[in-house]
């Protein structure tokens, strides 16, 4: 034991990133590599009449120009309703029409300008409600009603729940478009060898599913595709699907017979990478006079945009919060997903849960007020206990919701401040404090028949370990956590560990980075592989020293006597003695960890995750009632994380998530007007900057999950989920006005405050 | 993209510079913080002749010149922000420089560039209007002075001729009793384009506030003086009355950053707050 668990361990990739040594996709130059650029539609819904590429092809330096007719047109993406290049019609502003590979980016851009496209505009749809109207334009012929998906979930009997209720409230919540804003823009390099083997330098979060998904689209068998992931400059879910630019790059490489790189411009990243799912959510909730929740009845309308990526499946997560954040005996949920000519959404940290929690936790405050309870007591009254199974079938083996609520409110002085801020405040600037909680998967999510991750662990002759893991590090710090687990188990320093996590030819299978699963699933996998290696080493040492393996342990690079700590043999020496003999052997182990969760049944019920994460955040803020500026002063967060593995990493996750959540609530807005993105730049798409970042006080509730690696649960998404609800609850405390629409830009806040005053 | 720069020149003196640009459609490069963004986005392509004016001797500097203050065209926003002279004589410029961009941009951005870029939201322009600044323009024909309040003709448009170089900005050293203030409103405290900006200034004598100046940014095609607001302040109206006059005096547009309605609201609120801070305390 080196005592690494729970310590402040700097991210292993941090020195290279901060000194500029890290090589990103943009830094990789293969010999003979060309630069690819994509011509995108400037129409939102139109028939393509003619595409003329003659002039572009004639431009010196251009090696390939392709359109839909040069490609097989196999559908791609989660909904298989998109093709790499569009030949017949375009359905949204980003649509890919043609692509060029040239000797420089400038030449490729010049060539794009020489391509002439003739369109015939079609009537378009910009709001989900319009998509449902009689006689609305049809966006995909396969779905004449514009509805590609519906989701229904229920438990209990909502009508009975309404009967039992003393108070029923209903609101419609409107959630907007935002996008991931990864510092590293999207991109890929496609490189064929003369035998037709394809290497993709890809930023995907799902290297193994990526191979399978892209294979039919490009007509290359998965066995001939190698995915190498350069250092990824942020994912947040945006790289969970395949997108048209990826097969396009392959088609260009094939046509030009040269490696081709496509890297987005920042503007392109805003226009043509996925967004968070915009949702209109109507929630009715009921409560008895004693403060017991009776029912939730939810209808949502999802703007799917022109095509289907993962955004369409956010109802899986939305319904978890609707059904199981607090005890709700009766629940009904319906989502209609409709096509429009807007941009389309993908997966994004929280995956629908920001939208759901905004509604549910706004209502928790309203219901508390209606029954005359304080928001904390009301939540505690309805909070689950450890050991409960929710009516959707989730087993809360551990559940720190109660401690989260109590800790965050006590540390922030929530109740006292709330009372104080409710009384009349002088001057235009008013203070408020608000609370909200969250539930999210913390032990993976079994959406495929396996939710597993493989590890290969190899110890060299000198006691250094190489951990080959299927899981990807997209900046979240999984490399460091995995190294910690292995170092701890093998009793070697973290500097003696190398994590290989970016080459599908070497690393074993994994589902991908999503559902806050990597520490839990890949961590368990690495830990178990290390345990196997440890068992082997101790058995070998015991045999040689004629001792019992039970009395031995690994510490400080040695096999030691577990009781006294006395070194018995140095690790490298032991390994060499196994290796350099007649019956030689090396120390290499494998593990495929499969969590004990199940896929949901047809009614969306079942224990989909091996563990669940909880959290509470309290926000204290100031509202300038004359300018509408909302200034966040302090966030007090308490998260049930099972067990802290890397204190530094987990604080970073919470702080990053809180800032992302504040952006979602107050400043970030991808402005889409008539299908066109109006603010594709960091000048007008307002990320939260350092001066607006409040003090963040994080407490970690350690419930020691029995299945988690060293007791840990996932934390990746959780910190971003409940803060927008805490913010509107705090604004209500400050001003008496309740907001149901995001973002809370100064203009929107001022307008509402004035309306209320008049 | 017409990025085809045929000639690049780096003059060392004003004479060389005006010679180089005479009769040509040159692109002048000072700090480049507007220019590079505009050329890259294709909004304003380079012309064939690129002239880097940033090495011209004597074109920078912040100094007094008799009863005037001189800001060299190449004076950077950082230079203005940290100038002891300005802090003492014209703190409103220090204030404006302090709310301008962030350190990296401030180190490069010049006051001449801010003025010649002629954005309605240019943050150095409003305080310079309060100070009755004049600009000095040089060409092969010699030098001429123009009051800053007559310099702008529209967004990105000025009375500077193509063959002229802006060399300096002058303003009278404010007298004893001078008070001024500037407020920029963006949706965040740093790195933001002004949604609106407001400045007021006046000199106090026994009878009250004289020589009142009010100016507004981002509410018209150019930064503007608010003459009716000035008159109301001089007459000694209440802050609320003055703020309503200011609101009625501006005609902002709606864009992706804010609606016209919101800009008017802000002009009223900020003018009222500024009046309170500058004239009532
Ligand atoms: C991230 C960022 C943040 C910013 N924040 C702000 C802000 O808060 N407030 C604000 O007002 N602006 C801001 N700007 C805009 C810009 O920095 C300023 O307008 C700056 O003062 C421009 O000066 P420059 O020296 O960089 O000009 P340049 O880009 O070099 O030139 C601007 C224009 O003026 C012309 N020009 C420059 N000098 C002369 C001269 N001496 N004679 C004739 N013509 C000349 C150039 O040809 C060009 O057309 C920001 C820009 C960026 C990129």
Contacts of A688 in chain B (CB under 8 A): 188
The model's confidence at residue B41, banded by pLDDT at 50, 70 and 90, is confident
Identify residues of A whose CB sits under 8 angstroms from chain B CBs. 106, 109-110, 626-629, 667, 671, 678-679, 683-684, 686, 688-692, 745-747, 750-751
Cβ neighbours of A36 (radius 10 Å): 29
* CATH code: domain of residue B195: 3.30.390.50
Spatial strand order of the sheet with A465-469 comes to A497-500, A465-469, A453-459, A587-593
Closest partner residue to B258 (CB to CB) among A678, A683, A747 is A747
Ligand 1 atom 41: the closest Cα is on which residue? B166
Domains in chain A: ranges and CATH: 14-21+452-593 (3.30.365.10), 31-122+185-232+239-272 (3.90.1170.50)
Q: Does residue B57 lie within any of the structural domains?
A: no
Residues 6+ apart with CB under 8 A from B257: A684, B187, B193, B195
Q: Would you say residue A570 has pLDDT above 60?
A: yes
CA dist B278 to A243, A615, B182, B233, B240, Å? 56, 47, 9, 11, 14
Q: How far is the CA of B200 from the centre of ligand 1 (A)?
A: 24
Q: Would you say residue B1 has pLDDT above 70?
A: no
Q: Cβ(B17)–Cβ(B23) under 8 Å?
A: no
Output the pLDDT for position A151.
98
- DSSP H helices in A192-262: 207-218, 245-256
Mean pLDDT for the stretch of residues A294-306: 98
End residue of a domain, out of B122, B140, B171 = B171
Angle, alpha carbons A23-A29-A34 (nearest 5°): 140
Q: Does residue B2 lie within any of the structural domains?
A: no
B270 and B211: one domain? yes
- pLDDT digits 0-9 by tens, B203-256: 999 888 999 999 999 999 999 999 999 999 999 999 999 999 999 999 999 999
- pLDDT digits 0-9 by tens, A585-608: 999 999 999 999 999 999 999 999
Closest partner residue to B259 (CB to CB) among A110, A667, A747 is A747
Q: Do B1 and A671 touch (CB under 8 A)?
A: no
End residue of a domain, out of B171, B199, B230 = B171
Q: Do A750 and B262 touch (CB under 8 A)?
A: yes
The model's confidence at residue B2, banded by pLDDT at 50, 70 and 90, is very low
E strand intervals along A41-121:
46-52, 62-67, 89-90, 96-102, 116-121
Q: Does residue B148 lie within any of the structural domains?
A: yes
Output the pLDDT for position B3.
58
Rounded-to-integer distance, Cα A279 and Cα A355, Å: 7
To test the pocket of ligand 1, the residue of B5, B57, B116 to mutate (highest count of ligand atoms within 8 Å of its CB) is B116
End residue of a domain, out of B131, B150, B171 = B171
Q: Does residue B1 lie within any of the structural domains?
A: no
* CATH code: domain of residue B105: 3.30.465.10
B45 and B145: one domain? no
Cβ neighbours of A329 (radius 10 Å): 18
Q: Which residue would you say has higher pLDDT here, A697 or A3?
A: A697
SS3 (DSSP) at A575: helix
Ligand 1 atom 38: the closest Cα is on which residue? B113
B33 and B69: one domain? no
Ligand 1 atom 50: the closest Cα is on which residue? B101
Mean pLDDT for the stretch of residues A151-155: 98
Q: Do A679 and B256 touch (CB under 8 A)?
A: yes
- pLDDT digits 0-9 by tens, A256-277: 999 999 999 999 999 999 999 9
Complex ipTM value: 0.95
Output the pLDDT for position B138.
98
Ligand 1 atom 53: the closest Cα is on which residue? B33
Q: Taking all residues of chain B, what is their mean pLDDT, rounded to a whole number?
A: 96
Q: Does residue B192 lie within any of the structural domains?
A: yes
B192 and B250: one domain? yes
Mean pLDDT for the stretch of residues B112-138: 98
Output the CA torsion A116→A118→A124→A127 (10° steps).
Answer: 0
B32 and B125: one domain? no
**Best of A627, A629, A684 to mutate (most B CBs within 10 Å, chain B):** A627
Percent of chain A with pLDDT over 90: 99
Q: Does residue B100 lie within any of the structural domains?
A: yes
A422, A436, A428, A435: which is closest to A750 by C-alpha? A428
- pLDDT digits 0-9 by tens, B50-85: 999 999 999 999 999 999 999 999 999 999 999 999
Q: Would you say residue A2 has pLDDT above 90?
A: no
Rounded-to-integer distance, Cα B263 and Cα B243, Å: 13
DSSP A667: I
Q: Cβ(B121)–Cβ(B129) under 8 Å?
A: no
B17 lines ligand 1 (CB under 6 A): no
Task: Indicate the pTM of the whole model.
Answer: 0.97
B217 and B265: one domain? yes
Q: Taking all residues of chain A, what is their mean pLDDT, rounded to a whole number?
A: 97
B224 and B266: one domain? yes
Q: Would you say residue A659 has pLDDT above 80?
A: yes
- DSSP H helices in A445-517: 478-490
B151 and B244: one domain? no
Residue B273 belongs to what domain range?
Answer: 179-280
Q: How far is the CA of B75 from the centre of ligand 1 (A)?
A: 12
B187 and B273: one domain? yes
B77 and B112: one domain? yes
Q: Cβ(B274)–Cβ(B200) under 8 Å?
A: yes
Output the pLDDT for position A494.
96
SS3 (DSSP) at A543: helix
Mean pLDDT for the stretch of residues A172-201: 98
- pLDDT digits 0-9 by tens, A233-252: 999 999 999 999 999 999 99
Domain count, chain B: 3
- pLDDT digits 0-9 by tens, A512-530: 999 999 999 999 999 999 9
B132 and B36: one domain? no
The model's confidence at residue A1, banded by pLDDT at 50, 70 and 90, is very low
Output the pLDDT for position B187.
85
B67 and B167: one domain? yes
Residues 6+ apart with CB under 8 A from B238: none
Angle between helices A353-371 and A375-382 (to 10 degrees): 110
Q: Would you say residue B198 has pLDDT above 50?
A: yes
Is the torsion defined by CA of B80, B84, B85, B90 positive or negative?
positive
Rounded-to-integer distance, Cα A455 and Cα A453, Å: 7
Output the pLDDT for position B265.
98
- pLDDT digits 0-9 by tens, A43-82: 999 999 999 999 999 999 999 999 999 999 999 999 999 9
Q: Does residue B37 lie within any of the structural domains?
A: yes
């Amino acid at each position: 034991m080196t005592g690494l668990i729970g310590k402040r361990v700097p991210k292993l990739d941090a020195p290279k990133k901060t000194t500029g040594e890290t090589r990103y996709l943009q830094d990789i130059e293969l010999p003979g590599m060309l630069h690819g650029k994509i011509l995108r539609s400037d129409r939102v819904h139109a028939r393509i009449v003619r595409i003329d590429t003659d002039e572009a092809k004639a431009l010196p330096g251009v090696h390939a120009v392709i359109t839909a007719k040069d490609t097989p047109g196999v559908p791609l993406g989660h909904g298989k309703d998109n093709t790499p290049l569009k030949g017949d019609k375009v359905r949204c502003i980003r649509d890919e029409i043609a692509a060029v590979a040239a000797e420089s980016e400038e030449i490729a851009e010049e060539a794009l300008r020489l391509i002439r496209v003739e369109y015939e505009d079609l009537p378009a749809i910009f709001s989900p409600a319009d998509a449902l109207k009689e006689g609305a334009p049809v966006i995909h012929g396969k779905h004449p009603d514009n509805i590609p998906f519906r989701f229904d979930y229920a438990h209990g009997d909502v009508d009975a729940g309404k009967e039992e209720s003393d108070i029923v409230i209903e609101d419609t919540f409107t959630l907007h478009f935002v996008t991931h804003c990864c510092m590293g823009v999207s991109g890929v390099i496609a490189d064929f060898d003369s035998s037709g083997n394809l290497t993709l330098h890809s930023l995907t979060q799902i290297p193994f599913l990526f191979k399978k998904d892209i294979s039919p689209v490009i007509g290359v068998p998965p066995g001939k595709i190698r995915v190498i992931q350069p250092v990824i400059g942020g994912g947040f879910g945006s790289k969970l699907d395949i997108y048209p630019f990826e097969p396009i790059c392959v088609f260009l490489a094939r046509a030009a017979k040269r490696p081709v790189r496509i890297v987005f411009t920042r503007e392109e990243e805003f226009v043509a990478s996925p967004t968070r799912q915009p949702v209109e959510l109507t929630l009715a909730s009921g409560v008895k006079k004693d403060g017991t929740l009776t029912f939730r009845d939810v209808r949502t309308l999802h703007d799917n945009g022109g095509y289907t990526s993962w955004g369409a499946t956010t109802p899986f997560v939305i319904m978890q919060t609707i059904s199981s954040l607090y005890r709700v005996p009766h629940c009904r949920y319906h989502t209609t997903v409709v096509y429009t000519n807007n941009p389309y959404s993908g997966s994004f940290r929280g995956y629908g849960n920001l939208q759901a929690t905004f509604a549910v936790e706004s209502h928790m405050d309203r219901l508390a007020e209606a029954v005359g309870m304080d928001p904390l007591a009301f939540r505690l009254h309805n909070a689950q206990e450890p050991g409960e199974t929710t009516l959707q079938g989730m087993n809360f083996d551990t559940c720190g919701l109660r401690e989260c609520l109590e800790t965050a409110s006590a540390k922030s002085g929530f109740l006292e401040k709330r009372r104080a801020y409710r009384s009349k405040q002088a001057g235009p600037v008013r203070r408020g404090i608000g609370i909200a909680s969250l539930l999210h998967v913390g032990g993976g999510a079994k959406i495929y028949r396996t939710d597993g991750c493989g590890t290969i662990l190899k110890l060299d002759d000198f006691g250094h370990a190489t951990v080959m893991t299927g899981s990807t590090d997209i900046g979240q710090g999984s490399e460091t956590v995995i190294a910690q687990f292995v170092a701890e188990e093998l009793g070697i320093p973290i500097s003696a560990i190398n994590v290989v996590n970016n080459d599908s030819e070497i690393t074993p299978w994994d589902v991908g980075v999503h559902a806050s699963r990597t520490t839990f699933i890949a961590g368990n996998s690495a830990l178990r592989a290390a345990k196997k290696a440890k068992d082997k080493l101790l058995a070998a040492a015991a045999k040689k020293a004629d001792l019992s393996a039970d009395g031995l342990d690994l510490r400080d690079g040695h096999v030691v006597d577990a009781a006294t700590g006395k070194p018995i043999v140095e690790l490298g020496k032991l390994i060499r003695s196994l290796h350099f003999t007649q019956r030689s052997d090396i120390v290499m182990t494998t593990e495929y960890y499969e969590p004990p969760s199940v896929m949901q049944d047809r009614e969306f019920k079942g224990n989909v995750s091996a563990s669940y994460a909880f959290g509470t955040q309290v926000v204290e803020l100031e509202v300038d009632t004359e300018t509408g500026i909302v200034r966040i002063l302090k966030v007090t967060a308490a998260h049930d994380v099972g067990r802290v593995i890397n204190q530094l990493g987990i604080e970073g996750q919470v702080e990053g998530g809180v800032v992302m959540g504040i952006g979602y609530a107050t400043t970030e807005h991808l402005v889409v007007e008539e299908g066109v993105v109006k603010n594709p730049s960091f000048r007008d798409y307002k990320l939260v900057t350092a001066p607006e970042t409040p003090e963040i006080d994080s407490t970690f509730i350690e419930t020691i999950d029995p299945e988690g690696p060293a007791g840990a649960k996932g934390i990746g998404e959780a910190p971003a989920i409940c803060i927008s609800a805490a913010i509107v609850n705090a604004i209500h405390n400050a001003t008496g006005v309740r907001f149901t629409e995001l973002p809370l830009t100064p203009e929107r806040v001022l307008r509402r405050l004035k309306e209320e005053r008049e | 993209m017409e990025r085809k720069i045929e000639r690049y020149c780096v003059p060392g003196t004003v004479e060389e510079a005006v010679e180089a640009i005479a009769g040509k459609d040159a692109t002048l490069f000072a700090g480049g913080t507007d220019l590079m963004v505009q050329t890259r986005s294709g909004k304003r392509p380079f012309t064939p002749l690129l002239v880097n004016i940033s090495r011209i001797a004597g074109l920078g500097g912040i100094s007094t010149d008799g009863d005037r203050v001189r800001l060299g065209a190449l004076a950077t926003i950082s230079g203005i922000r940290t100038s002891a002279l300005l802090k003492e004589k014209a703190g409103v410029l220090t204030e404006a420089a302090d709310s301008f961009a962030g350190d990296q941009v401030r180190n490069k951005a010049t006051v001449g560039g801010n003025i010649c870029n002629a954005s309605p939201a240019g943050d150095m322009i409003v305080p310079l209007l309060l100070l009755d600044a004049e600009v000095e323009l040089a060409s092969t024909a010699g030098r001429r002075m123009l009051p800053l309040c007559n310099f702008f003709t529209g967004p990105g448009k000025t009375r500077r001729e193509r063959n002229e170089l802006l060399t300096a900005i002058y303003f009278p050293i404010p007298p004893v009793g001078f008070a001024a203030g500037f407020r920029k409103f963006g949706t965040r405290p740093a790195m933001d384009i002004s949604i609106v900006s407001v400045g007021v200034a006046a000199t106090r004598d026994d009878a009250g506030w004289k020589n009142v100046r009010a100016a507004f940014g981002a509410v018209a095609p150019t930064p503007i003086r608010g003459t009716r607001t000035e008159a109301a302040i001089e007459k000694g109206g209440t802050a609320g009355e003055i703020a309503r006059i200011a609101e009625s005096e501006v005609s902002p547009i709606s864009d992706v950053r804010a609606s016209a309605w919101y800009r008017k609201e802000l002009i009223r609120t900020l003018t009222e707050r500024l009046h309170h801070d500058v004239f009532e305390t």
